């Protein structure tokens, strides 16, 4: 019997691995029992305790760091309001702590199936067009082709005082150098999903469109009236109808206080989607895209910053908000080399932004922005836009 057992073991050992993989899996009840053995659970609890202690220590350190970031930001804002100079001492000069402790262990006991989290519905271009038709009985006038929109955008940008370099390089950064006027962030055709409502050359969000129509409504209407004056017959009637729709949209956008949070509430409604559809319109869209950048230029001038903004500096204001972006823009080069980018973010935003955390000083962030603009400006879409000026 012993010889037979040894022979059987030897035979099994010599079998191909494929045969071994074909053995039936353990029944769930047996696998669960093994996973829940006292030894496995004890090891899990030990590792969980180690993880919780390490994580708690890290959170205490991180909380203190981001609290200091907040206090320094408040101090800088107060000094600027008082007309005082901001110095290196007004920034946190160390980088955020990084968690290096043990990973959270996996609970070996059976776990209930997680409830599927409902995804927030992001409107896409067809939804915007449908909303405009339903709420304003209007369909955006789409360009005949991409070049037509680029030329209209170039005319609007130049008339507003933006330089070709600013417009082309920001377009290159925002769209990768080949973006179309109706490009939506993250959407690359059937089977893909957008990651935000950002659309167009400067990637306007739905809230951007609502806010721009509220704040720049008079300028938008003036531009449309100017176009109408040069038309006659049927084209003029079409333009006058568009003006009437825009007046209703402006009134809707101005029906709430002029704050981002209130505009965001409107933007999350189908009627707000209808306003966002105007980024697609050949007459209105180029002005909306232009004003997105122009507001940053005007903000800088209003704060006494008269030097022309480079495209990378303008992009910083475009990405982080005018006030935060200007904080970086007005910083001398020597300070840019030393000040961490964390000073300009909330903790969550920083941790979700690998570019800002990897290129972790103001100088490095501006440099990588310029580098991407250099590369993408050589692509066909950017070249077409440059030729449109």
Residue 2 pLDDT grade (very low, low, confident, very high; cuts 50, 70, 90) = very low
Query: pLDDT tens for residues 57-87?
Result: 999 999 999 999 999 999 999 998 898 999 9
Task: Using DSSP, state whether 199 is helix, strand or coil.
Answer: strand
Is there a domain that residue 363 lies in?
yes
Q: Is residue 18 part of a domain?
A: yes
pLDDT of residue 32: 53
- The number of domains in the chain is 2
What per-residue confidence (pLDDT) applies to 62? 96
Full domain range(s) for residue 15: 1-103
Assess whether 180 and 254 both reside in one domain.
yes
Q: Is 146 exposed, middle or buried (0-12, 13-18, 19+ CB in 10 A)?
A: middle
Does pLDDT of 30 surpass 90?
no
Distance CA 344, CA 350 (A): 9
**What do you get for the CA distance between the two ends of the chain, in Å?**
93
- What CATH number does the domain containing 133 carry? 1.10.530.10
Cβ partners under 8 Å of residue 246, min gap 6: 213, 217, 220, 221, 224, 278, 284
- Which of 16-25, 232-241, 380-389 shows the lowest per-residue confidence on average (mean pLDDT)? 16-25
Is the same domain home to 149 and 197? Answer: yes
Q: Assess whether pLDDT exceeds 70 at residue 203.
A: yes
What is the mean pLDDT of the segment spanning 134-143? Answer: 97
Same domain, 256 and 305: yes
Q: What is the mean pLDDT of the chain?
A: 89
Please check whether residues 88 and 226 belong to one and the same domain. Answer: no
pLDDT score recorded for residue 36: 63
| Alpha carbons 345 and 349: distance in angstroms, whole number | 6
Instruction: Assess if residue 23 is contained within a domain.
Output: yes
204 three-state secondary structure:
strand
* pLDDT (tens digit per residue) in 259-290: 999 999 999 999 999 999 999 999 999 999 99
Query: Does a structural domain hold residue 112?
Result: no
What pLDDT is stored for residue 245 in this prediction? Answer: 97
Structural domain ending residue among the three candidates 69, 103, 137? 103
pLDDT at residue 162 tops 90:
yes
- Do the domain assignments include residue 108? no
- Res. 24: pLDDT tops 80: no
Residue 313 lies in a domain: yes
DSSP per-residue string spanning 276-331: HGGGG-TTTHHHHHHHHHHHHHHHHHHTT--SPPPHHHHHHHHHH-HHHHHHHHTS
Rounded to whole angstroms, how far apart are CA atoms 292 and 310?
16
Residue 158 has pLDDT above 60, yes or no: yes
Residue 35 binned pLDDT confidence (cut-offs 50, 70, 90)? low
Where among 71, 103, 135 does a domain terminate?
A: 103
109 with 41: CB under 8 angstroms? yes
Alpha-carbon distance of 381 to 233, in angstroms, equals 35
pLDDT of residue 22: 45
Q: State the average pLDDT over residues 165-174.
A: 96
DSSP state of 253: H
Output the pLDDT for position 14. Answer: 41
> Would you state the structure tokens that stand for residue 198, as one six-digit string?
């950002």
Same domain, 320 and 244: yes
pLDDT at 113: 81
Q: 37 with 184, same domain?
A: no
Report if residue 173 sits inside a domain.
Answer: yes
Tell me: do 175 and 70 sit in the same domain: no
Q: Which long-range contacts (CB under 8 A, 24 or more apart) does 118-125 make?
A: 122/193, 122/194, 122/195, 122/196, 122/197, 123/197, 123/206, 123/273, 123/276, 124/184, 124/187, 124/194, 125/182, 125/184, 125/199, 125/280
CA dihedral sign of residues 290, 293, 294, 295: positive
Q: What is the mean pLDDT of residues 159-182?
A: 95
């Amino acid at each position: 019997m012993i010889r037979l057992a040894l022979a059987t073991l030897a035979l099994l050992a010599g079998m191909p691995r494929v045969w071994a993989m074909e053995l039936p899996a353990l029944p769930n009840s047996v696998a669960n029992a093994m996973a829940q053995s006292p030894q496995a659970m004890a090891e899990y609890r030990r590792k969980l305790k180690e993880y919780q202690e390490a994580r708690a220590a890290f959170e205490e350190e991180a909380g203190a760091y981001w609290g200091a970031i907040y206090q320094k930001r408040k101090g800088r804002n107060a000094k600027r309001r008082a007309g005082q100079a901001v110095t290196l001492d007004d920034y946190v000069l160390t980088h955020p702590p990084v968690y290096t402790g043990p990973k959270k262990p996996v609970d070996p006991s059976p776990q209930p199936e997680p409830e599927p989290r409902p995804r927030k519905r992001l409107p896409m271009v067809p939804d915007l067009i449908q909303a405009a038709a339903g709420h304003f009985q209007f369909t955006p006038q789409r360009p005949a082709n991409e070049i037509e929109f680029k030329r209209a955008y170039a005319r609007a940008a130049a008339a507003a005082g933006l330089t070709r370099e600013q417009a082309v390089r920001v377009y290159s950064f925002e769209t990768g150098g080949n973006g179309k006027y109706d490009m939506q962030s993250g959407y690359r055709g059937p089977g893909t999903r957008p990651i935000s409502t950002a659309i167009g050359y400067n990637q306007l969000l739905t809230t951007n469109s609502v806010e721009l129509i509220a704040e720049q409504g008079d300028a938008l209407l003036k531009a449309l009236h100017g176009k109408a004056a040069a038309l006659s017959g049927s084209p003029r009637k079409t333009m006058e109808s568009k003006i009437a729709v825009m007046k209703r949209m402006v009134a809707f956008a101005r029906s709430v206080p002029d704050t981002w949070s209130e505009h965001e509430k409107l933007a999350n409604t189908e009627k707000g989607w209808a306003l966002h559809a105007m980024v697609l319109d050949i007459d209105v869209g180029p002005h909306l895209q232009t004003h997105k950048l122009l507001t940053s230029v005007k903000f800088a001038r209003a704060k006494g910053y008269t030097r022309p903004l480079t495209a990378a500096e303008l992009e910083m204001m475009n990405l982080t908000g005018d006030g935060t972006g200007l904080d970086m823009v007005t910083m001398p080069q020597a300070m840019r080399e030393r000040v961490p980018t964390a000073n300009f973010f909330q903790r969550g935003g920083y941790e979700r932004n690998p570019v800002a955390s990897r290129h972790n000083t103001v100088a490095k962030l501006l440099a990588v922005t310029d580098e991407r603009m250099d590369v993408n400006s050589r692509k066909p879409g950017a070249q077409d836009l440059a030729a449109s000026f």
